[in-house]
Amino acid sequence: FTFEAAQSLPGLPTGHHCRNIHGHSYRMEVGALDPDLLRIHLTALYDELDHRYLNEIPGLESATCERICAWVWRWLRERGSSPTVVAVQETETAKCLYFGE
């Protein structure tokens, strides 16, 4: 699925364009051992992320695509899903595949 969200990366040097608040049209793909259970959680996950300022979500204060992947993995596991892969793409050239902790 896709979602729209804003973020900033406050740890970057002053003057770096990603340090400022900006938005992305994210594309997320998730695989799981139980796709039916996963589908139940994906709607809630979408609602948690779409049209939000990601930095305000605990654990996403510096929301790189790598950190979003790990956060989504933990979020799904806490709800009983067993993800096998989480992929987050924030731009044409920035994508992360996460296979777990």
Beta bridge partner(s), residue 32: 83
User: The pTM is what?
Assistant: 0.92
Kindly state the tokens that stand for 56: 């305000």
Q: Which one-letter DSSP state was computed for residue 13?
A: P
Q: Is the dihedral of CA 86, 93, 43, 71 positive or negative?
A: positive
The percentage of the chain sitting over the pLDDT mark of 70, rounded to a whole number, equals 100
Contacts of 36 (CB under 8 A, 6+ apart): none
| Residues identified as active-site | 18, 51, 90
pLDDT digits (tens, 9 = 90+) for 37-56: 999 999 999 999 999 999 99
